[in-house]
Chains A and B, each alone.
Chain A
Amino acid sequence: MTTSNGQYIAAIDQGTTSSRCIVFGADGRIVAVDQQEHSQIFPQPGWVEHDAEEIWTRVQSVVSGALAKAGLTRDDIRAIGITNQRETTVLWDKNTGKPVHNALVWQDTRTEELCKELGRNVGQDRFRRETGLPLASYFAGPKIRWLLDNVEGLRERAERGEILFGTMDTWVIWNLTGGVDGGKHVTDVTNASRTMLMNLHTLQWDESIAQSMDVPLSVLPEIRSSAEIYGEAVGELAGVPVASALGDQQAALFGQTCFDIGEAKSTYGTGTFLLLNTGEKIVNSYHGLLTTVGYRIGDQAPVYALEGSIAVTGSLVQWLRDQLGIISTAAEIETLASTVEDNGGAYIVPAFSGLFAPYWRSDARGVITGLTRYVTKGHLARAVLEATAWQTREVVDAMEKDSGVTLSALKVDGGMTSNNLLMQNIADVLDVPVERPYVAETTALGAAYAAGLAVGFWPDLDTLRANWHRAAEWTPRMDEATREREYKNWLKAVERTMGWIEEDQPSGH
């Protein structure tokens, strides 16, 4: 093994719309960033694909780009960490390295019917006890099955042992460590926990679930921890250890240094993902959350997490901008919302494609309610921001009920943290402080941290925690009576979304 005195860690963030490489210094500060988008392929409504070969080309290119911008060479890089869009599924030929089909992206809904079938008489919670997940089209297992069923001759090739499966972490690591020439076929526990094929208790592939899904074990990668040396890179970074992999939301949890039980982070983007560290305990959710692996460092005990996702947050602001034209940039929502003191009695529940956590009602559709002649676009802008705050509150309430842990503060990141009014609103409705750290790139930072720990660049979690600094904090200002009244109104508004789509009605619009 090459030993390097490199003073930097490179993180590869293979995301849904782009791939990035970010180089970090020892204090966690960003030294250089390079980013490239890749094509989104929409073969038919509801289907979303990526070209995995294009993604690998982009990844190589951003690695070179970031090194060039930083003026560094491979000798300066101590380790490489990987974080990735979760659940996106690719199958490839291990002898040629060629994907057998475009990757099926997590948003792709083509496996919805298959998931219903797999639920049989039990329903969507058939595999929840083992995997922590409901049967839903996001997860990788059913996507593998779809590919095996629909790409001609693939199942036979898979059974002959010629085909490998990977989520994007696996695909990047395999290529990075040599591809057809000795590439390591591995995944980490966090990515494996999103396949619906891994048993949360043993952290191994669950043979009986794989059998139920008709997925041959031979295609599956080896499950490793999130922070260990998987192998050495070849090519531009030849000799540099590839030393971490974490799904993007778990990486953000790690980057926000939520290492203690009860610490939670919320990433506010198009949608929002809240993860709560539940320690070594696997908490089953009875309130519509997912149970997932938070991270595992080397051979230490795994740390589990509860995850609540909110489908529509930033995208509601985009809807106001693009579909209604009430604002011309996303940031203007705050200007408009600031023209009024409150929501004027209006509430917007953006159940655009049903209600997600904690309700999971696909028959729901969005509503704007409480309208009177008094309501202005300023009130609606406020209702838009409040919708994100109340949805956060609902997920936090569900987490507290499931875990018995009371949140003492919420660490936030993502694009919407630049919205001051929203952040204040979240502090108000949660009645806990909301904290924003300096490094907005918590996802890439998490991958860098894990890789740095694996190679001894950083000695321990406390050192990482010492790198976390508060750049802003919003403290609750709303009085209890207002909070209770508004929450009650919000819940009433949510009620009005349900049952809109009837059984025999097409759910598309």
Chain B
Amino acid sequence: MAGSIQSLERAAAILRLLAGGERRLGLSDVANALGLAKGTAHGILRTLQQEGFVEQDPDSGKYQLGAELLRLGQSYLDVHELRARALVWADDLARASGETVYLGVLHQRGVLIVHHVFRPDDTRQVLEVGSMQPLHSTALGKVLTAFDPVARAELVESEREAFTAHTVTDLDVIDAEAAAIRERGWAAAVEETWAGVASIGALIQDRRRNPVGAVALNGPVERVCTTGPDGRIGPVRPDLVVSVREAARAISRDLGAPRF
């Protein structure tokens, strides 16, 4: 663990100070309250002002919190909000495809399942909301890794287990595939985590086009993949790819993302 950075600590202290009590403070108020030299306090305040975190009243010269802080707070998307917005589209994807549908978000070096729609065959199925899936070997994880730099960083740190003979664990190969996923806009994972299971995933974006999660369908390779004339399992079915991408776009649209 590296030592903390003093100027950041001081900037945080200033923001806290402005967030409580009087809310509008002059330069000497800030400096006195935090035991800083005026010059130091001024330097930090000016930087915070440039970033929009602090605003200065033109008449009194006093400082207050800036609008950028509010914007930061709002950009956080509650996963339960995500589920509520995605409900209709995830249901529709499961019904149209006949397969299981998951919604996942990045969480501690893995994918947290925040929503799960049963396959519509009325067999006994267990709700998997709250469980984790790996980043490197599922469609959900691959989508997040490809589009979210934070997920990529988590992947580098994580232990990439080889679940099956098809699991890719080599970082260079993963990165090359991620580039291809970014290019075409969707990911597939065929028997990379579970033998006999294939998944197709696409990205969900918020109104600022930030990657906030992914939607994927999972099913047996016999149904999710094409079959060649020799009976061999081929790549995933293009019609299912279209359905998954449409669902991802619809959810993103409901979150306020611009039309693609």
Contact = CB atoms under 8 A, between A and B. Distances in A.
Interface of A: 29, 329-335, 415, 417-420, 438-440, 469-475
26 contacts: A29-B92, A29-B95, A330-B84, A331-B80, A331-B84, A332-B78, A332-B81, A335-B79, A418-B80, A418-B83, A418-B84, A418-B87, A420-B80, A438-B95, A440-B88, A440-B91, A469-B95, A469-B118, A469-B122, A470-B120, A471-B91, A471-B117, A471-B120, A473-B118, A473-B125, A475-B126
A439 B94 CA distance: 11
B118 A329 contact: no
A471 B94 contact: yes
A474 B117 CA distance: 12
B91 A331 contact: no
A438 to B, nearest CB: 5
Given A331-B83, A469-B122, 20 more contacts: A329-B81, A331-B81, A332-B78, A332-B81, A334-B80, A335-B79, A335-B80, A417-B87, A418-B80, A418-B83, A419-B80, A420-B83, A438-B95, A439-B91, A440-B87, A469-B120, A469-B121, A470-B118, A472-B118, A473-B125
Contacts, number: 61
Nearest to B95: A438
B116 interface: yes
Nearest to A466: B122
Contacts of A330: 84
B167 to A, nearest CB: 29
Interface string B109-151: 0000000111011100111010000000000000000000000
| Candidate in B80, B87, B95, B117 with the most chain A CB atoms within 10 angstroms | B80
A438 B94 contact: yes
Contacts of B80: 331-335, 418-420
| Candidate in A333, A418, A439, A473 with the most chain B CB atoms within 10 angstroms | A418
| Candidate in B84, B92, B94 with the most chain A CB atoms within 10 angstroms | B84
A473 B123 CA distance: 11
Interface of B: 78-81, 83-84, 87-88, 91-92, 94-95, 116-118, 120-122, 125-127, 129
A471 B126 CA distance: 11
A29 B116 CA distance: 19
A335 B83 CA distance: 12
B79 A471 contact: no
A436 B214 CA distance: 22
A29 B126 CA distance: 24
B73 to A, nearest CB: 9
Contacts of B79: 335
B127 A472 contact: yes
B2 to A, nearest CB: 29
Contacts of B83: 331, 418, 420
Contacts of A471: 91, 94, 117-118, 120
A438 B91 contact: yes
B43 to A, nearest CB: 34
A459 to B, nearest CB: 20
Contacts of B87: 417-418, 440
Contacts of A415: 84
Nearest to A441: B88
A439 to B, nearest CB: 8
Contacts of B91: 438-440, 471
B85 to A, nearest CB: 8
A439 B92 CA distance: 8
Contacts of A331: 78, 80-81, 83-84
A335 B95 contact: no
A329 B255 CA distance: 13
A420 B116 CA distance: 10
A334 B94 CA distance: 24
A464 to B, nearest CB: 15
Contacts of A420: 80, 83, 127, 129
B95 A472 contact: no
A473 B94 contact: no
A32 to B, nearest CB: 13
A270 to B, nearest CB: 15
Nearest to A417: B87
B116 A438 contact: no
